[in-house]
Amino acid sequence: MAQWDLTSEETPALWPLIAGDGMAPTGVPIGFDTLSGGTFYCDPLGWVTDESVAVTNPNIFIFGKPGRGKSALVKAIILRMIRFGYRSLILGDVKAEYEVVARALGVEPFRIGPGLQGRINPLDLGPLGLDWERQDHAEIARRTAVLTGRWLTLIRGLVGSQHVPFGPTEERVISQVLRHVSGWDVARSTITPITIPMVWHALDVPTDDLITSCRYASRQTFLDATRGLRDALGALCAGSLRGMFDAESTFQIDWRAPIRTLSLRDLHAEGNEIAVGIALMCLNSWGQGMREVVEPGDRRIVLRDEAWMQTRLSVEAVKALDASLRLSRSDGDIQIVTYHKPSDPLSAGDAGSQAAQIAKDLLHLADVRILLGQDQEVAAELRSLLGLTAVQQNLVTDWAMGWPGRALWMVGDRRFKVQLLLTEIERELTFTNAAITDPVDAAGRSSKDDG
Ligand SMILES: Nc1ncnc2c1ncn2[C@@H]1O[C@H](COP(=O)(O)OP(=O)(O)O)[C@@H](O)[C@H]1O
Ligand SMILES: [Mg+2]
């Protein structure tokens, strides 16, 4: 408790002696609460369990113009939460900037990319595939429902991102294919691990069984009707993405490690942003699968940095992220998503469209939203999408542009004006090219928007 000595003459000036209604000092210290002058603490799970805080899930969305310190903030949270038992999973380190943090913690980062050895199977069974033969019918039915839900969301996202329609017919075909290829049946005690090429092959050389169960009159009608699906899935097995997501995973997560990072640097370096977006979607789905069964007390920070690269692909890609954020809500994981502008997820569709509505809903999947600096042009959407008042908008477009790490923290219905303080070591670990290549931008005085 802070103490001040005041004379009776001075006291009235500070009456009623309240220095802002700060949050309880639990969780990790972040920096200054500049309104109260005290230390601001971040405790997402604690906020969920605290009745007085209107936070129902521990997810965090971070917005900010490039160079404003989104990644630095995430890294500080990751490092500081370690002592509370949180370990981190970085789903798609596009610029390989989390590798530095991983190595500092004694963990070798995992890389996937063109020509590299490592593979991630986005259709991985994950921990749900363990001890399958020992489960009863009810549990097998439950597990298959979870698996097929995840697989369908991913395939819909992949197909939608190639601008191939994915309606009820396609969904039925893919559901049948998944069933045929994995061989699941409540009466059977095994399930076969599946991969994208296996799904593709089943569509390319369909069995009579599959054609009948999909209700096609002939092989030719089946092949004609599923051409778009085949081409869309084929894209994952060719071009830039070849050799990344088309085989069994070679990467096993060591859940005891303080951090696990999957780097996409080599793919990103090729400059094909659509491929990066698709890769992020695959990792997103895979990471979701890895969290479908968790040990009690196994708490994770699951990060999706630069999520705009995924969600601008298509509305189906937005839905895929939406599904992951919703699904692992109950297990205590803190999911962090970073974006440039609040309107980023809306870029997948026309204003007023179904896509825009889904994207708006996505913004409400986190009760904690941190707004680092933005350009003046973004002020209007801060109001319309996040409901900021004029004073709060100004804080984001003016004060927060003055220094990296300055942000408006929206915790449930409360607002805090916070400056993140980095330690010496953190400053080294969070140093990114943003500051080297564009020092003016990093200091927030440039008005150009490279987001
Ligand atoms: N709170 C802070 N104090 C001092 N420097 C910071 C702070 N936050 C970020 N930086 C520096 O600003 C640069 C850009 O930060 P970064 O996190 O990469 O931005 P973003 O992810 O928003 O593009 C980095 O070099 C980082 O070290
Ligand atoms: Mg960043």
Same domain, 155 and 298: no
Record the pTM.
0.89
**Is residue 415 assigned to a domain?**
yes
Q: Which ligand is nearest to the CA of 451?
A: 1
Distance (angstroms) between ligand 2 centre and the Cα of 251 equals 25
For a pocket test of ligand 1, which of 62, 429, 430 has the largest count of ligand atoms closer than 8 A to its C-beta? 430
Q: What is the pLDDT of residue 329?
A: 54
Same domain, 196 and 74: no
- Residue ID of nearest Cα to ligand 1 atom 26: 431
Distance (angstroms) between ligand 2 centre and the Cα of 143 equals 36
Residues 5 and 104: their CA atoms lie apart, in Å, by 44
In the numeric block, the tokens 């020509």 are attached to 115
HEC string of 389-419 equals: CHHHHHHHHCHHHHCCCEEEEEECCEEEEEE
Q: What is the pLDDT of residue 451?
A: 36
pLDDT tens digit string along 33-56? 998 889 999 999 999 999 999 999
Distance (angstroms) between ligand 1 centre and the Cα of 433 equals 9
Same domain, 59 and 151: no
Same domain, 73 and 168: no
Extract the tokens encoding 394: 């100004």
Q: What is the pLDDT of residue 358?
A: 81
**Is residue 381 assigned to a domain?**
yes
Same domain, 300 and 423: yes
**Is residue 3 assigned to a domain?**
no
CA angle 360, 284, 131 (to 5 degrees): 130
Q: Which ligand is nearest to the CA of 73?
A: 1
Extract the tokens encoding 381: 């959407």
**Is residue 284 assigned to a domain?**
no
Indicate whether residue 369 lines ligand 1 (CB < 6 A): no
Q: For residue 149, give its domain range.
A: 126-231
How many structural domains compose the chain?
Answer: 2
Residues 282 and 321: their CA atoms lie apart, in Å, by 10
170-176: average pLDDT: 95
The CATH number covering residue 410 comes to 3.40.50.300
Indicate whether residue 72 lines ligand 1 (CB < 6 A): yes
Same domain, 101 and 131: no
Whether the per-residue pLDDT at 420 is higher than 90: the answer is yes
Band the pLDDT of 444: cuts 50, 70, 90.
Answer: very low
Indicate whether residue 373 lines ligand 1 (CB < 6 A): no
pLDDT tens digit string along 262-312? 999 999 999 999 999 999 999 999 999 998 888 888 889 999 999 999 988
